[in-house]
Each structure stands twice: as C-alpha cells, then as structure tokens.
C-alpha cells in the first residue's frame, strides 16, 4: 500500500491483523505523495496542499504504536513451534536492490505480521523535480 492509502485505510488493516494473530506481510511504499489521486501531499510531509507548514506524521512510529508490545515480548507460536514476536517492522530503501530483495526473501517466510516500509521518493515526483533542476541524480 502507498503512504496515502496507509493513512486512509491501512492502519486499521494492520491493527486487525496484529489483533487476530494473522500471518501476513504488508509493504508500505513511503514515497511522500498520494500518487493514486494526483500526487497530493500526504501526512508524512511538513507542508499541506497549499504549501503551508504542517505537522509531519511518522509512519514507522504509527505502525509501532499498533503493536501491543513493541518490544516483542508478546509472542506467537511459529510454524516450528518456537515463540516468535507478534509483529515486526522493517525499513529499507528499495533503491538498494540487493538489500531489498534479501529482506523480502527473509521476512516473507517468517510467521506473524510483518510490516516492511519501503522508503523512497516517488519516481514521478523525483523526475519532475529533476526536470526543474531541483535535485541531482540519486546514485
């Protein structure tokens, strides 16, 4: 889900999955825009749609607040019978392809609720800013 969708309806889905002990992986594309409806600013930014200063919300902090015990002491039984944390949160830059691929391959196979935050600016907004010479090429 994108970060705009996370604020619209994703939080409740993640909370329900944790409360019900589901085995699911969420990937939140934290790209700094609501791309689905026209690239409006979303609550992760420090400005609103008019450009005025606004409070920026931190997706990772919000997700961690949904876990009853962020320290992971509330446990579930894994497929192998061992206790595992009820939910886990990971953050990665998907531009680091090898690291991203390795994380996906490892995390998806774990039991419980897994939330991966893929943190990278939207390619469309990046290229628009690049075209206006506001950014340099990311390496």
State pLDDT tens for residues 86-100: 789 999 999 999 999
Beta carbons within 8 Å of 43's beta carbon, 6+ residues apart = 7, 54, 55, 56, 57
Phi, psi of 20 (to 5 degrees): -95, 0
**Residue-level pLDDT at 79:** 67
Cα–chain-centroid distance for residue 111? 18
* Confidence at residue 120, expressed as pLDDT on a 0 to 100 scale: 75
137 in any annotated domain: no
Confidence (pLDDT) at 73: 46
Domain presence at residue 138: no
The total of structural domains in the chain comes to: 1
The Cα–Cα gap between 24 and 113 comes to 5
Residue 16 φ/ψ, nearest 5 degrees: -65, -40
Asked whether residue 13 is domain-assigned, the answer is: yes
For residue 61, tell me if it sits in a domain: yes
Residue 54 within any structural domain of the chain: yes
Q: Is residue 136 part of a domain?
A: no
Q: What is the structure's pLDDT at 72?
A: 47
Residue 32 lies in a domain: yes
Confidence of residue 130 (pLDDT cuts 50, 70, 90): confident
**pTM of the full predicted structure?**
0.75
Instruction: Tell whether the model's pLDDT for residue 135 goes beyond 60.
Output: yes
Look at residue 53 and tell me if it is in a domain.
yes
């Amino acid at each position: 889900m994108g970060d705009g969708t996370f604020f619209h309806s994703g939080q409740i889905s993640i909370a329900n999955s944790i409360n019900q002990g589901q085995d699911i992986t969420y990937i939140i594309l934290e790209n700094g825009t609501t791309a689905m409806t026209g690239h409006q600013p979303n609550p992760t930014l420090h400005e609103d749609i008019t450009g005025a200063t606004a409070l920026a919300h931190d997706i990772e902090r919000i997700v961690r607040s949904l876990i009853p015990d962020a320290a992971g002491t509330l446990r579930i039984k894994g497929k192998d019978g061992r206790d595992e944390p009820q939910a886990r949160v990971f953050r990665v830059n998907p531009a680091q392809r090898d690291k991203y691929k390795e994380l996906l391959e490892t995390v998806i196979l774990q039991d419980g609720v897994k939330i991966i935050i893929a943190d990278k600016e939207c390619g469309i907004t990046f290229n628009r800013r690049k075209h206006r010479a506001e950014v340099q090429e990311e390496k």
